Amino acid sequence: MSTTREAPVDGPARADERVARVGPWRRLMVKPELGSLIGAVVILGFFSAQSDVFRSLAGVANWLDVASVLGIMAVAVALLMIGGHFDLSAGVMTGTTALTVGIVAVELQQNIWVAIAAALVLALGIGAFNGWLVTRTGLPSFIITLGTFLMLQGLNLGLTKLFTGTVIVRGIADAPGYHSAELVLASTIDVFGQPFRVAVLWWLLVTAVASWVLLRTRFGNWVFATGGDEVASRNVGVPAQRTTIVLFMTTATAAWLVGSITAVRLTSVQANTGTGQELIYIVAAVIGGCLLTGGFGSAIGAALGALIFGMTQQGIVYLNWDADWFYFFLGAMLLLAVLTNRLVRRYAEAARR
């Protein structure tokens, strides 16, 4: 029913006496991404000021490498968190896919692309299973994916030992098709003479696509809605269950990408790969402004969260701080980053709510 009704004649750009003037700088500040950008800049400044290696091209390539693999997962996990769910199996799934690539390529002697495809199918299956179980039972995803996390951890170990007799799959470099796979997933690209890992490009691509989907598509709208209030969104016709399942499959796909990169790059995979990383992904997403309760967050923020984490991790090494205190410094720097972010936003908050 969209009949013409008498609309008051006022253009959208009309000034409103109920709105105070706000500078463009402050307006920028309140975007969630820009909050974490501040954190990233503070950390970057901190370490760059103290270590010239950190700010050298080689240093940048090094910490970008750390951030990129983490970032691919963090972005996917952020989407899932915006949609209101957790995936504790995300970390171990990178191991599962890497091991699958290894086992199919080496033990079953297939072309590496076949192995990578097989790993994708497996990952999508696991993601769909997670999503199906969560939507079907209505149980918290935290507990469901904890179950799959533990089961995958067991499978990774059990199957690897079954196939190889040990806890490591080796010899992926000898699989047919390895060189093309290496080119796509594990090569380096020279920039000003400094090789950068191609994973950085993947990270940027994943962030861009995720951001586009989130902000510019119907599906993105559904993600926000499902995470914001599942009942309400179902009531207005959002396919909340489908959205949830697709989100779990998205995290699984990201895990597959990271797993394939790992397998091709290291050419050997340990059975415990990825275990324990799931928390770090969540952390990167939260640093990037995602709400744990769902319905709010950004893909770019998560990518920046991963950057903060990666820079901090490597920066501490570059400063040659005592390794015994590594975690102390890591924790302190993280708090510093989020508190700065918070402070800046408090100041800028005057610009909204």
Partner 1 sequence: MSTATDAPGGAPLLELRGIGKDFGSVIALEGISTAVRAGQVTCVLGDNGAGKSTLIKVLSGVHRPTRGELLLDGEPVDFGAPRDALDAGIATVYQDLAMIPLMSIWRNFFLGSEPTTGWGPFRRFDRATAKEVTRRELAAMGIDIRDPDQPVGTLSGGERQSVAIARAVHFGARVLILDEPTSALGVKQAAVVLRYIAQARDQGLGVVFITHNPHHAHPVGDRFLLLNRGRSMGDFAKGEVTREQLTEMMAGGDELTRLAEELGRPGGA
Partner 2 sequence: STENSGGGDEGGDGGGTAASGDLDFAVVTHGAAGDAFWDVVQNGAEAAGEDLGVGVDYQSDGDPQRQSQLIEAAVNQDVDGIVVSMANPDALEDSISAATEAGIPVVTINSGAERSAEFGAIGHVGQDETIAGIGAGQRLAQDGATNVLCVVHEAGNIGLEQRCDGASQGLGSDVQLLQVDINDLQAAQSTITSQLQSNPSIDAVLTLNSAVASVAASAAADAGSDAAIATFDLNADVISAIQDGTISFAVDQQQYEQGYLPIVMLKLYAENLNTVGGGQAVLTGPGIVDAENVDEIADLASAGTR
Neighbours of 164 (CB within 10 A): 18
- Give backbone dihedrals phi and psi of 113, rounded to 5 degrees, phi first: -70, -35
Site string for partner 2, 137-166 (x = CB under 8 A): ----------------x--xx--xx--xxx
Residues 103-142 that bind its own copies (CB under 8 A): 137-140, 142
The region of 68-76, 210-218, 242-250, 338-346 touching its own copies under the rule CB under 8 A is 338-346
In our burial notation (b when 16+ CB lie closer than 10 A, e otherwise), range 285-323 reads: bbbbbbbeebbebbbbbbbbbbbbbbbbbbbbbbeeeee
Residues in 293-332 at the binding interface with its own copies, rule: CB under 8 A: 293, 322, 324-332
- How far is residue 117's CA from residue 91's CA, in Å, rounded to a whole number? 19
Which one of the spans 119-127, 159-167, 221-229, 302-310 is the region binding partner 1 (CB under 8 A)?
221-229
* Helical axes 57-82 vs 278-287, angle rounded to 10°: 90
- Residues making up the chain, counted from first to last: 353
Residues 269-308 as x/- pattern, contact with partner 2 by CB under 8 A: -xxxxxxxx-------------------------------
226 and 91 in contact (C-beta within 8 Å)?
A: no
For partner 1, the binding residues in 330-349 under the rule CB under 8 A are: 349
Which of 73, 79, 142 shows the shortest CA–CA distance to 309? 73
Q: Which pair of structure tokens corresponds to residue 65? A: 């490498």
Interface residues with its own copies (CB under 8 A) are 86, 88, 137-140, 142-144, 146-155, 157-158, 161, 276, 279, 282-283, 286-287, 291-293, 322, 324-332, 334-335, 338-339, 342
Interface residues with partner 2 (CB under 8 A) are 51, 53-54, 56, 58-59, 62-63, 65-66, 69-70, 91, 95, 153, 156-157, 160-161, 164-168, 170-171, 173, 261-262, 265-268, 270-277, 313-314, 317-320, 322-324, 326-327
